A and B are shown apart, each in its own frame.
Chain A
Amino acid sequence: MMEYIEITSDNAEDFAAFIDEDMCDNLDRTFFRGLGAVDDSGTAVGALVYELKDSESEEDTKSRVRVLAGSDDVKEELMTRYTEDIYDEEVIESFYESADEVMSKTLQADGFSFAESEALDLPVSMESIQKIANTLKVTKMPTFIKPLSEISVLQYRSFVKNCLFKGNRGLVDDLAYLPKNWFEIDVSSCAVDNDEVNAVLLLKRAPSGVLYVLLYTAFGPDAKKNLSFLIANTAQKLLQKYPPDTKIVIRRHNEMVTKLTAKLFAGTKGDTVFSGNRREA
Chain B
Amino acid sequence: MRLIVDHVTRYSYDQPVRGVVQSHRLTPTVFEGQTVVDWQVTVTDGCPGGVFRDGAGDRVQAWSVAGPVSEIVVHVKGVVETRDLTGVLRGHREIVRPEVYLRETTPTWADAALIELSSAADDASGPLDAAHRLSGAVADAIAYAPGTTEAHTTAAEALAQGKGVCQDHAHALIAMARHRGIPARYVSGYLFADAEGQPHEAAHAWAELWIVGLGWVGFDPANRCCPDERYIRLGSGLDALDAAPIRGIARGPGSETMNVRVVVAPEATQGQTQQ
A binds B: no
Q: Which residues of chain A have a CB within 8 Å of any CB of chain B?
A: none
